[in-house]
Amino acid sequence: MKYYVLIIGFFCCSFAVRSQSFNNFPVQTQKPPLHGKHWMAITGKPLAATAGAMIFSKGGNAIDASCAMLAATCTMWDVLAWGGETQALIYNPKTKKVIAINALGVAPTGATPEFFKGKGMKYPPRYGPLAAVTPGTAGGLMTMLAEYGTLSLKDVLAPAMQLAEGYPIEAQTANSIERGKDEIKKWPYSTKVFLTHPGEKREAPDAGEIFVQKDLLTTLQKLVESEQLALKKGKTRKEAIYAAYERFYKGDIAKEIARGSQEQGGLITEQDLANWKVKIEEPMMTTYRGIEVYKLQQWTQGPAMLQTLNILENFDLKSMGYNSSRYIHTLYQAMNLAFADRDFYYGDPAFGPEEPMKGLLSKDYAKERIKSINWEMNDPKIGPGDPYPFEGKQNPYMDLLKKWGNNQVSLRQSTNPLSEQFLEDFTAGTTSVEATDAEGWVVSITPSGGWVPSCIAGNTGIGMSQRMQSFVLDPGENPFNVVEPGKRPRVTLTPSMALKDGKPFLSFAKQAGDEQDQLLLQFFLNVVEFNMTVQESCEAPSFKTFQMYSSFGDHEKLPGALTLNNDMPPWTRKELSRMGYKLSYEERTSGPINAIYFDWKHGSFWGGSSNQGEDYGLGW
C-alpha cells in the first residue's frame, strides 16, 4: 500500500492523512481511535460512556444505551440537566430511514415580547426561571426508549440512579459550581443541591467529593415506580414507559415543576407541561458529492451546514490545500452566507409563516449566493439572501430584510471582542451522545439545557432549561423566531448523520453553542475531502468564525473575527490579516466532536473523540 502525506501550508510539521481502512503506519493522535464490531458508545463524560457500556452488556441496543448515556450526563450536570432539551437523529435499520426526534421545550404561558420588554430586557435572560422553556429531555428519552428501544426504563435509568445516590464529582463540574455560586444563591432549591459547604470559603463540592442528589433520585424513582406498576397491570413495555411519561408531564412531578418554577418567578404552568409533546419528524437532507447528509429541521441551526455544503460543492476544496488561507477564506465566506440566512429565516415550523426551507436548501440558490462572495477580502456586512424566488414565491419580509442588511451589523456588534462573557455565551452548554450496534441502529444526540448555574424546579432535583434566551423580541431581527407561548426557540443544537450508498457512513455531533455546525462542517470535510480517519478528523485543528449572531446572551456578533490554531505560521497569518480578518489563537481548536465511522469493508466501527474536553467512549 502507498502512504500519502499532505503537507499543510500553515503548519511547522506535516499532518498525515490516509484512508479509514489503512491500518499500517498509523498516524499518532493524542487519543487512540476506538474500534468495535458489536457496539460503540461515546459521550461527553467518561462515566456516562460507561453507563452506555453497562446497558449494552445487558443486551440493550443502541437506543437503550444512548438513553442511558443521556440520563447519566443529565445527572452529572455541568453542561445539561434533566429539565433541558434533547435533539436526536436515529437511523432505523429496519426501515433504512433516518428519523428526527424533536424534544425541545416551548415558551410557557405569558412569555411574550411585551412581557420581557416590560422588564427592561432586550432578550429573555441568560439564567433563572424566566430563561426556561418547558423540560423536554425526560420526554425525549422516554419516547426514544418506548418507540425504538428494547429494555425497560428501570434498566436504562439504573446507572443514572446510582449516580444520583452519589458519585465522585469531576473537577470541571465542581469548579463550575463554585464559579457560578453567586447566581446559584438566588435560587433556594439550587443552593440546597449545589452548595454542599455553605458558608465556607469554597461552598461548592471538592473534586472527587461524593455528590448526592436525593430529590433527583426520588423523581427518577417515581418514573420507575409508574412503569413497574403499569407492567404489573398487564401493560406492554411501551405502554409502561409512557405511563412514566404521563406522570412526569401530567402527574405529581409536573405539579412540583410548575410550583417550583412559579415560586421562584417563572412562568411554567401545569397546563404548559400537559400540552407539550415530543415530535418524531422527517429530517432535512442534502447531498454532497453523492453522500446524503442529514440534519434536524429549521427549529435548529442544522440546515445551515446543509446550505454551506451546497455552496462548497461547487469548489475543488482539496486542491486548495488543507487549512490554507484560500481554503479558510472559502469556508468562512460560505458559512457567512448560510449563517446570515439562519439568523433571519430559521424558526419553529409549527408557527406561521412557513420558513422558506425549500428555497434555502436549493442547489440553485447556493449558486446564486456564491455570486455575493468577495474573493479578496472578508465582507463584514454580508446579509441574508432571498430564497423565495427559488420556491416560486415572493418574500413577505422584504422590507425587514432590507433594513436588516443596512442596520443590524452596527446594532449588535460586541464592543469587547472575544471577551469572557461573549465567549461564554457563544459556546454555552451542551454535550453529545453517539451510539451504534451490530443490528444497525445508529443514534446521534445533542442534548442541552439546565447547565450550571441552573435554577432547580422545586423539590424535583430537576434543573430548568436556559433556552428561552435563543428567542428574539424584535421581528426585525428574525420574524420567524419571535417568542410566543407554545413556540420552540431556534436552537444551536445539531446532531449530524451521513449515509453513503444507502448505508450509514458517519454519525457525529459536538457541544458548544454556535460553534457546532461550523466545526462539524470542517470535521465532515476532513473525512470526505482529505481522507482523514475519524480520530484524526476529531483532533485536526479547526478554525472558528464569530461572524454570525450569537444565539445567547446579548446576541452579538464579531464580523471578521477568526480563531486559528496556535501553529498557524506567520505567512498565513499575514495573508488572512490582509484579507480583513481579526485573528486570535487557541492551543486546541478541534471540538469537542464525537463521531462514529462505519467501515463496511471490514464490518467494524471506528470511534473518534476530540482531544479537547472530557468526551470519550467505549467500543466492543
The full DSSP string for 287-339 is EETTEEEEE--TTBSTHHHHHHHHHHTTS-HHHH-TT-HHHHHHHHHHHHHHH
C-alpha to C-alpha distances, 123 to 97, 384, 405, 539, nearest whole angstrom: 38, 21, 21, 36
Report the C-alpha gap between 471 and 123 in whole angstroms: 7
End residue of a domain, out of 408, 442, 470: 470
Please say whether the beta carbons of 76 and 173 come within 8 A: yes
Give yes or no: residues 420 and 435 share one domain.
Answer: no
3 state SS of 171: helix
Residue 130 is given by DSSP the state G
Nearest one of 254, 253, 252, 296 to 275, comparing CA atoms: 254
Report the C-alpha gap between 166 and 75 in whole angstroms: 10
531 C-beta neighbours (distance < 10 Å), count:
17
Give yes or no: residues 144 and 216 share one domain.
Answer: yes
3 state SS of 281: strand
For residue 614, the model assigns a pLDDT of 78
Give yes or no: residues 217 and 360 share one domain.
Answer: no
E strands in 53-147: 86-92, 97-103
Nearest one of 405, 380, 341 to 561, comparing CA atoms: 380
Cell digits of residue 187? 435560587
Give yes or no: residues 260 and 409 share one domain.
Answer: no
| Sheet with 593-599: strands ordered across | 34-36, 604-609, 593-599, 503-510, 496-500, 291-295, 284-288
Give yes or no: residues 19 and 53 share one domain.
Answer: no
Fill in the amino acid letter for 261.
S
Residue with cell 440493550: 60
- Residue 127 falls inside a structural domain: yes
- Residue 210 falls inside a structural domain: yes
Please say whether the beta carbons of 373 and 333 come within 8 A: yes
Write down the pTM of the prediction.
0.92
For residue 591, the model assigns a pLDDT of 73
- Residue 41 falls inside a structural domain: no
Residue with cell 422588564: 119
For residue 22, the model assigns a pLDDT of 36
Nearest one of 563, 578, 561 to 417, comparing CA atoms: 561
Give yes or no: residues 443 and 546 share one domain.
Answer: no
Give yes or no: residues 248 and 335 share one domain.
Answer: no
pLDDT means per 10 residues in the chain (620 residues)?
Answer: 32 35 56 92 91 97 98 90 96 98 98 97 96 98 98 98 96 93 96 96 97 98 98 98 98 98 98 98 97 98 97 96 93 96 97 95 98 94 95 95 65 54 63 95 96 95 96 95 98 96 95 88 96 91 89 89 88 92 87 92 92 85
For residue 588, the model assigns a pLDDT of 81
Please say whether the beta carbons of 126 and 466 come within 8 A: yes
- Residue 503 falls inside a structural domain: no
For residue 26, the model assigns a pLDDT of 53
Report the C-alpha gap between 564 and 325 in whole angstroms: 11
Report the C-alpha gap between 336 and 559 in whole angstroms: 9
Please say whether the beta carbons of 469 and 131 come within 8 A: yes
Report the C-alpha gap between 180 and 454 in whole angstroms: 9
Fill in the amino acid letter for 266.
G
Give yes or no: residues 380 and 447 share one domain.
Answer: no
| Sheet with 86-92: strands ordered across | 279-281, 97-103, 86-92, 442-445, 433-437, 39-43, 616-619
Question: Length of the chain in residues, anyone?
Answer: 620
CATH code of residue 422: 1.10.246.130
For residue 2, the model assigns a pLDDT of 33
Give yes or no: residues 78 and 178 share one domain.
Answer: yes
- Residue 491 falls inside a structural domain: no
Give yes or no: residues 29 and 125 share one domain.
Answer: no
Give yes or no: residues 456 and 563 share one domain.
Answer: no
| Secondary structure element (H or E) that encloses residue 229, with its range | helix 214-232
End residue of a domain, out of 410, 438, 470: 470
- Residue 101 falls inside a structural domain: no
The neighbouring-strand residues paired with 83 are: 464
- Beta strands 561-565 and 97-103: pairing type? unpaired
End residue of a domain, out of 470, 494, 529: 470
Cell digits of residue 402? 432590507
Cell digits of residue 54? 453497562
Q: What is the dihedral of CA 187, 422, 425, 377, to 10 degrees?
A: 170
Task: Provide the number of structural domains found in the chain.
Answer: 2
- The parent domain of residue 14 ranges over 5-35+312-427+521-619
- Residue 515 falls inside a structural domain: no
- Residue 455 falls inside a structural domain: yes
Tell me what percent of the chain is helix, strand and coil, each rounded to the nearest 5.
40, 15, 45
Give yes or no: residues 251 and 336 share one domain.
Answer: no
Give one DSSP letter per residue of 464-520, joined into a string.
BP-GGGGSBS-TTT-TT-B--TTPPPPB----EEEEETTEEEEEEEE-SGGGHHHHH
